[in-house]
Structure 1
């Protein structure tokens, strides 16, 4: 059901000619190189790659049919020195929100639709709906933030929670709030459906190029530098356009949300009378 609702939202946005931005993170191991074998005069054969894992780099970017959003690359890595590229050591909700607000939103068309998954740092909740484990003073603060009427004689916590439940509040994500302030809409992918995000195919092309650039698996800093070089040099407009078309075609294979017309059964007088007579007769049996 979540998948069908997502597809309906996307169809509606496309029919409204709203520009769609796709964002996602990917990971790259600095020891990931093109695998090949070598043979010398000795009777041994081995892969020319290290046996251990390298350092992991998180790559965050966004794009559309027009290619990557310019100057919106963010790199996150630990303990990688001597790199000329800017990068951060930890990917957190605060870092993601700062990137989203300062690097992405100012550079995308008005009223864009921004597609992303439900990664934890995409999903920090503002004014989380309260529950029985919440302190009473925090419940009252939540009600105040929501402009709810608070009784003069403050009832017990359970009663306060009932008042909140009556309002049918929904959790609001910090990212969704930031987007709405600037006139954009966030649409989240259904769980386990990353195939609906064309940037996944773009990442595959980027990683393939990275492996070819990554001639020496010991130079971790060079991998960080190459990420920026590749995303800048890659002929990404045509690549992105093909990936977006592929996803649109894939989405078309899934059924639409079925429309159900109301079923109205009308009983005429004769049918009503016959039913009443049969009911009366059954009472005397």
Structure 2
């Protein structure tokens, strides 16, 4: 009998490219400590940044555009770029204004402080972007709720399909073996097929919207730290 889907789960992180398929040394597979609840408690910014610094970046042998979606753990902000909100403590708001050299009265309300903060808010800086730039790379985030524009979604579907078809024991140790076996199937040709599919979708979107990228100025969309992608539920 096939289990209902409840029980322990595996968390998987990897990276790939057109010329290599999945990149050697970038795999991270570990068992979630909890069998239910939000997996972001374990797949979080700390885990992702550690993986990026010690596994991804050392295995990129040339300047690279690193494509990410807008999962919250991708969008950890640099401490100096975090701007207080109305839910912040009043002292936090005051300290922010002090760091900006902005005068305020101790008796100012949070609304009055927020008016000054809004004028002096700092541009968002993401830790992943800063880390990538230090090594000569650049981060490109796919549009919010457009996971179809990331080739990795098709790669995950390929891997998960392989695991599902070959999972005969439903034991976590066997699932982990199957996950690593699925990685070996993602050759450069498989990745190229996924990437070409995404490029075809991009072309169709541009044709539908009448966009000529040769004359369109770049647009930067600032995404809040808690923004997530459609694929986070996978």
Give the Cα separation in 2 of the matches to 1:117 and 1:212. 27
Q: TM-score, normalised by structure 1?
A: 0.60
Structure 1 counterpart of 2:174, from 222, 227, 231:
222
Rate the CA distance shift 1:155–1:212 in 2: closer, same or farther, 3 A. Answer: same
**Structure 1, unpaired ranges of 5+:** 1-48, 81-88, 261-285
What's 1:149 paired with? 101
User: Which has the greater radius of gyration?
Assistant: 1
Provide closer, same or farther for how the CA distance between residues 109 and 167 of structure 1 changes in structure 2, counting only shifts above 3 A: farther
Aligned partner of 2:28 in structure 1 is: 74
User: 1:129-208 residue pairs with structure 2 within 5 A?
Assistant: 129-143=83-97, 148-151=100-103, 156=108, 160-208=113-161
Residue 68 of structure 1, CA deviation = 1.0
Partner of 2:164: 211
- Structure 2: gaps spanning 5 or more residues: 35-40, 217-234
After TM superposition, the structure 1 = structure 2 runs for residues 1-285 of structure 1, keeping only pairs within 5 Å, are 49-53=1-5, 54-66=7-19, 67-78=21-32, 90-127=42-79, 128-143=82-97, 148-151=100-103, 156=108, 160-217=113-170, 219-231=171-183, 233-255=184-206, 256=211
Instruction: Judge conservation of contact 1:77–1:90 (CA < 8 Å) in 2.
Output: no
Cα distance, 1:237–1:94 mapped onto 2, change above 3 Å? same
Q: Count matched residues.
A: 200
Quick check: which one's strand share is greater? 1
Out of 136-145 and 245-254, give the one that drifted further.
136-145
| 1:199 to 1:242, Cα distance in 2 relative to 1, 3 A | same
Shift, 1:99, TM fit: 0.7
Question: Over the residues paired in the alignment, what is the CA RMSD in angstroms?
Answer: 3.0
Cα distance change of structure 1 residues 184 and 194 upon mapping to structure 2, 3 Å threshold: same
Confirm or deny: 8 A CA contact 2:83 2:121 kept in the other structure.
no
